[in-house]
Structure 1
């Protein structure tokens, strides 16, 4: 089979390698579409802390069933998407149903080879029928589920005033699912084009430009009451720390981002607000299901989110192009 391999930072190669052999309890999936994630760009740039090269990237995957166990609920040729988090099923987190926080988790395309290839073999529990969703759209379900999980973790409700910092793809997914719950959503970023997209295409209610006057503007917009929920999707330590400045009394602060640096905050300010700090990692089965429901309901502008498309065969050239900030990528998808 063909596969796109990141041999080392900055170097991709299209190779031919043996097809995977389906293991016991696994399903062999013929990959059709692969969404390109910020994680993939970090791997390409050599910035991912949990990765060894060479690696076949790709964890936003859709395809068709090629081979399944005899007693499987899945049929050959059936359209499916893949949940890329391979959990152990036995650790303390898994026993509680928190498979997204498995102590021994392996993520396709990060800890083991992923789906920038013609086939993968994964446990049947990680393979889900797409229903009425086109395969191209199904390859976006995983990144959308990240935002849906963060919104769920923040317990966002219709009466909440929400600030989402960072309007990349993950921030956009948080906007979509916060709005689906009826919240009033403000988006903060340094890119005017992304702020305009958040309002025009995602239904955000207000925006704040993330310059030195952002706190003043947030205070003005909220009548000095600030935000019931702040969701950080910046992937940068400085704005993650700054996010504490925007918390209302009794607020929740959800960190969708993860960085290697320490994050610090003023304990007296945090305590007097009786604020809650919440980590959000990966996603769970109900988050994927929520994404499917919202896509089927027409509340996810999939065509607007999928800004760039190409073939796996052209991946070496396309990846270099799409990784540039001026490329304007929101979500790029490779077709196989």
Structure 2
């Protein structure tokens, strides 16, 4: 079968591999849609730890076509993959902080993922999606990660929330904060993404820090940093009101540093938090997608075959592009 594998840092290609067989406790999934994530580009550049050679993609949906010993999940079940496999035994797992597991194994990072015709995953990482379109079900993982960040930020009705970054996480955050009853502003330099944010419920969309100051002269109660850029992380405290909160969801390259003034955070009692992956939020995300509480169809910029995935990961995202999906069924 065909799979898109990261063979080494800077070396990603579509290759022929043997089709996997499900072991005990596993299911074999025919992949119907897999999203290209910014983390995939970090992996390609060596900016995020992983274990090559490995088939990438931790955001995917498909259908169960075979099952291993001890699995009750029926063949034919539509699923979305919850990619993080916590050990359940380390100190963090025992505290309920499974996203901080010391021995976490991430599908598509440490073991083969969804940029392939088929993939095996532990059955307990398969979340049933019912009649949800697979192109939409592939958003379950990024929505689950965004849910965790918004949970940490705790927006309440009537608050002002500033989302920095108009990628998929930012545009999902806009909708989640809006659903919480907050007044939402998006900051992104891309005009098409500003228009998209307004159509998804943002009250305002601005291009610069100065424009954000104009519409939020006292700062935002909650800033959700979703761009993963040093400049925007440094900008976030300047756009947060006294007594406000910041949650950083964006992923910066490993080793990159930013400048923050601790005295400013202290004197204005700004809470600076970070959000990592999706602890116990994948099922919630899948239900929200099924109930159409979150719109994802407008976030799909294009759908490509497996043959084009390696190039799409290796090259920078096109201006205004939000989410590229890989459909292994396309020729």
Same fold (TM over 0.5): yes
Match of 1:329 among 313, 321, 324: 321
> Is the counterpart of residue 281 in structure 1 residue 276 in structure 2?
yes
Structure 2 residue matching 1:329: 3-state secondary structure: coil
Aligned match of 2:298? 304
* 1:138 is aligned to 2:137: yes
Alpha-carbon separation, structure 1, partners of 2:164 and 2:124: 34
Does residue 273 of structure 2 align to residue 290 of structure 1? no
Match of 1:254 in 2: 247
SS at match of 1:63: strand
User: Is this contact kept in 2: 1:146–1:173, CA < 8 A?
Assistant: no
SS in 1 for 2:232: helix
TM-score by length of 1: 0.89
Q: Specify every segment of 5 or more residues in structure 2 that has no aligned partner in the other structure, as ranges.
A: none
- Give TM-score, length-normalised by structure 2: 0.91
For the residues of structure 2 that align with 1:317 and 1:237, how far apart are their CA atoms? 26
Specify the alignment match of 1:206 in structure 2.
204
Q: Deviating runs (4+, > 4 A) in structure 1? A: 316-320
How far did residue 141 of structure 1 move? 1.1
Q: Does 1:241 align with 2:234?
A: yes
Partners of 1:275 and 1:317 in 2: CA distance: 41
In structure 1, C-alpha distance between the alignment counterparts of 2:248 and 2:316, rounded to whole Å: 26
Structure 1 272/144 Cα, relative in aligned 2: closer, same or farther at 3 Å? Answer: same
Deviation (angstroms), 1:23: 2.6
Matched residue SS, 2:96: coil
Residue 114 of structure 2 is aligned to residue 115 of structure 1: yes
CA distance in 2, matches of 1:220, 1:328: 24
Matched, 1:272 2:267: yes
Compute the displacement of 1:256 (Å): 0.4
Structure 2 CA distance for aligned equivalents of residues 207 and 147 of structure 1? 19
Quote the Cα distance in structure 2 between the aligned partners of 1:313 and 1:188: 34
Name the CA distance, whole Å, in 2 between partners of 1:296 and 1:121: 24
Unaligned 5+ runs, structure 1: none
Deviations 1:296-327 (A, max 9, x none): 3323222211121122244345556xx34436
TM-superposition CA deviations, 1:149-191 (whole Å, max 9, x none):
1111111121221111111111111112111111111111222
How much does 1:334 deviate? 1.3
Query: In 2, are the aligned partners of 1:35 and 1:334 still within 8 Å (CA)?
Result: yes
SS of match in other structure, 2:24: coil
2:258 to 236, 249, 263: 263
Q: Partner of 2:123 in structure 1?
A: 124
